[in-house]
Structure 1
Amino acid sequence: MKPKYIEIADSFESQIKDGLLTPGTMLPAESVLQAEFGVSRVTIRKSLQILVDKGLINRTRGSGTYINDPKAQHDALHLLGFIEEVSRQGKTPSSRVLKFELKKPTRMVADKLALSTDDDTYEIHRLRCINGEPEIYEITHMPASLFPDLSISVMNGSKYDYIEEDKGLKIAKSSQSVKPYILDADMASHLDEPEAQAILKVESTGFLICGTAFEYTVNYFRLHQYSFEFISTRS
């Protein structure tokens, strides 16, 4: 049996996810929740702290406890494009291309894409926004031989739609690694964060159904409007 404070937190989380508690709603005072659940103030505070840690509520001294606008979930187990993933969750995605260059790859990028350093690649920097707020700084490298007509216009939209619908290629999988990253001044300015702030860095290499690597991408997640959830099952 779960401890009471976890049961209470789970109850509130379910109500939030089911839309019974909407963003901006103020929760009752701790004393009211104590009476409602028949527990101590310490138990209520432990329950609320779980919700704070998950980004579901915001507690403001002298004001109250409010339901947050839910973060978009990044599903690392299913390969969806940013636009598709965010749109499915009722939020508005947008992208802005900050850099678009045709260049020779570094040795590391060439190895990721199984290319020679004499081959041509595109290097594209995009700022990905949710509801108009910057959330991800993305750096993508793509083989020019696969996408000779790639353009800024394409990259302002959905990269995956271009690959699968316009080019008729089938995306199979993405190999990803996740690690912490300390922001430098330039990237911090794009993400509207203080320099030296810790964020999340996700490196991924995407492969077509034929086994060809079509992209090597590094995403820097601000995590104000995005969260990562990994669900493991045991058979």
Structure 2
Amino acid sequence: MHTDAGLKKMLPANIEIRDYLAGLIKQSRLKQNERLPSERELVEQFKSTRITVRDALSKLESEGLIYRSNRRGWFVSPPRLEYDPSSRVNFYLLAEQQQRTPATELISQKRIKGPQAARTALAVAADEKLIELVRLRSLDGRPVLYEFIYLPESRFPELMKKDLEGSLTTLMQRDYNVEITHEDNRICVSAVYDQVADALSHINGAPCLEIRRIRYEGERKAVEFDIEHWVHSAIELRIPSH
């Protein structure tokens, strides 16, 4: 029979470091959004290598226990945002209902032909331009969502002159008399690369939760097509059945 001490000695170094940090988190000795010891400190504490320490941290990240912030280090993850894609509750209201602080940064806005998936979903004429909005959304200062939004220019004239860092749902209703009646959501596991990965403090090829959404006014008129890249450890989908 192995003793606990014997089992500990048998553990690979990366698992030992992972278990140590996970224990601190579960015992609340490291609290939500608190910074972890630096990689250098962990290397010295465990007399290990930077590669081994990074592997342990990556395991904790994949479990959703910690997250990385570029140039700042690793932090303990707060509770996941509970999200029902079918509810049509906007991001700001959803976050505030769960005592979180939301923020949105508009990365870019432009008139383009747009990807074929967006043009097909919105059923636009061959010569019509789409408005593309690229936004980064954060919770409590942590980037959690990078989104591409496509809208038909003919339905939303002068849109790019408006404040696009707030709720688009509210803006549509207030300025364009658009009432979103229903949505079609498709959800899958994907990966992030390049500017999306960098904005979300992820490495190239890191997994994410991808949501493709078509939003409608009335019975059949699609007015918005979105591609959302969520940090998988920041969100929990809850979809009630009726």
Matched to 2:196, the amino acid is: M
1:115–1:127 CA distance, 2 compared to 1 (3 A): same
| Counterpart position of 1:118 | 127
- Once the two structures are overlaid, the 10-residue window that deviates more, 183-192 or 152-161, is 152-161
3-state SS, counterpart of residue 127 of structure 2: coil
1:211–1:162 CA distance, 2 compared to 1 (3 A): same
Q: TM-score, normalised by structure 1?
A: 0.68
Structure 1: gaps spanning 5 or more residues:
1-23, 28-52, 59-66
Give the C-alpha shift of residue 54 in structure 1.
8.9
| Counterpart position of 2:89 | 80
Task: Give the % identical residues.
Answer: 19
| Separation (CA, whole Å) in 2 of partners of 1:191 and 1:140 | 17
| Counterpart position of 1:195 | 204
Structure 1 vs Structure 2 CA RMSD:
2.6
Matched to 1:201, the amino acid is: E
Matched to 2:87, the amino acid is: H
| Counterpart position of 1:169 | 178
Structure 2: gaps spanning 5 or more residues:
1-24, 29-61, 67-75
| Counterpart position of 1:70 | 79
Matched to 2:175, the amino acid is: D
1:78–1:103 CA distance, 2 compared to 1 (3 A): same
Matched to 2:177, the amino acid is: G
3-state SS, counterpart of residue 155 of structure 1: coil
- 1:1-235 aligned at under 5 Å gives the runs 26=27, 69-151=78-160, 153-232=162-241
| Counterpart position of 2:43 | none
Give the C-alpha shift of residue 166 in structure 1.
2.4
| Counterpart position of 2:17 | none
3-state SS, counterpart of residue 92 of structure 2: helix
| Separation (CA, whole Å) in 2 of partners of 1:152 and 1:127 | 19
1:152–1:126 CA distance, 2 compared to 1 (3 A): farther
Give the C-alpha shift of residue 117 in structure 1.
3.0
| Separation (CA, whole Å) in 1 of partners of 2:235 and 2:157 | 33
Task: Please list every run of at least 4 consecutive aligned residues from structure 1 whose deviation after the TM superposition is greater than 4 angstroms.
Answer: none
